[in-house]
């Protein structure tokens, strides 16, 4: 099984990461369950929402809230916040170029998983998610990891999109414009209070690596990757 992850998650007592395309199209719930079960993750305790490219965050603070979400219709949102984390529970998102953003503290007591499309990034979702976690305690030390997503090499945009990002995130090459989502998300996380050295942004490009990832920008097909975060 190919799963992209950060070893710091394991050190914090959490399981999480992004599955490669070799596990199949994760729009299929049965594919999600099969992949999670292989890792010993209880798929019945993984929360989902209807992703809308928003800045809406759903906080889960009690076991009853988690159970209520599990039995309710899917909410429109783009980030999960577990504060505190619940043993045996977690969340999942699907992506095909958007950024899976993982946030957690050193002990795995607090964690968050966000679906950061460019529209959500423009709305400040990375900043707001980190800020929501950090508001729980002033001494919280957060780590961040960005899962596979479209990188600056492939994220070509037009001027109408580019002007919504800070200039330091824009790359202009002759008559083309590219956006560096890594740079903007890192900027927002630092602004929220994270240390720059605690933010890992590995260069896994969904659009550029067809062997390992699905990509809407490249293929225009509705195939999705699964990212999840779980406290065993």
Q: Tell me: the pLDDT tens digits for 45-60?
A: 999 999 999 999 999 9
pLDDT, tens only, 196-227: 999 999 999 999 999 999 999 999 999 999 99
Percent of the chain with pLDDT over 70: 100
Mean predicted confidence (pLDDT) in 36-50: 96
Strand-pairing partners, residue 229, are: 16, 91
Task: Give the model's confidence band at 25: pLDDT under 50 very low, under 70 low, under 90 confident, else very high.
Answer: very high
137, pLDDT greater than 90: no
CA separation (Å) from 191 to 71, 126, 195, 196? 36, 10, 9, 10
Domain residue spans of the chain: 3-151+182-231
Please give the torsion angle defined by the CA atoms of residues 162, 166, 168 and 171, in that order, rounded to the nearest 10 degrees: 0
Q: CA geometry: angle at 127 spanning 122 and 129, to 5°?
A: 110
- pLDDT for 138 equals 77
pLDDT, tens only, 110-124: 999 999 999 999 999
What average pLDDT is seen over the chain? 97
Mean predicted confidence (pLDDT) in 34-42: 94
Mean predicted confidence (pLDDT) in 116-134: 98
Q: Given CATH 3.60.140.10, say whether it is the number of domain 3-151+182-231.
A: yes
30, pLDDT greater than 90: yes
Strand-pairing partners, residue 77, are: 51
Residues 6+ apart with CB under 8 A from 222: 25, 27, 96, 216
pLDDT, tens only, 140-184: 999 999 999 999 999 999 999 999 999 999 999 989 999 999 999
Residue 20: half-sphere exposure toward Cβ, Cα within 13 Å: 11
Q: Closest Cα to residue 224, out of 19, 50, 79?
A: 19
Report how far residue 189's alpha carbon sits from residue 127's, in angstroms, rounded to the nearest whole number.
5
75, pLDDT greater than 90: yes
* Residue 173: both structure tokens together: 């090459």
- pLDDT for 1 equals 59
* Residue 164: both structure tokens together: 């919504």
């Amino acid at each position: 099984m190919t799963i992209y992850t950060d070893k710091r998650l394991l050190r914090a007592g959490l399981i999480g990461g992004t599955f490669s395309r070799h596990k199949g199209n994760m729009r299929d719930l049965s594919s999600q369950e099969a992949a999670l079960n292989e890792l010993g993750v209880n798929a019945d305790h993984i929360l989902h929402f209807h992703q809308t490219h928003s800045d809406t965050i759903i906080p889960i603070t009690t076991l009853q809230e988690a159970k209520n979400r599990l039995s309710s219709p899917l909410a429109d949102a783009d980030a999960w916040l577990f504060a505190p984390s619940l043993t045996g529970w977690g969340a999942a998102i699907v992506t095909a170029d958007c950024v899976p953003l993982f946030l957690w503290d050193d002990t795995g007591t607090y964690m968050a998983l966000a679906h950061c499309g460019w529209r959500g990034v423009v709305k400040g979702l990375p900043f707001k998610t980190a800020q929501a976690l950090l508001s729980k305690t002033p001494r919280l030390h957060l780590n961040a990891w960005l899962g596979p997503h479209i990188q600056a090499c492939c994220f070509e945009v037009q001027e109408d999109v580019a002007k919504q990002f800070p200039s330091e995130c824009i790359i202009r090459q002759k008559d083309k414009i590219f956006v560096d989502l890594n740079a903007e998300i890192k900027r927002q996380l630092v602004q929220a209070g994270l240390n720059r050295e605690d933010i890992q942004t590995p260069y896994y490009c969904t659009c550029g690596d067809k062997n390992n990832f699905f990509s809407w920008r490249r293929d225009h097909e509705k195939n999705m990757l699964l990212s999840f975060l779980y406290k065993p």
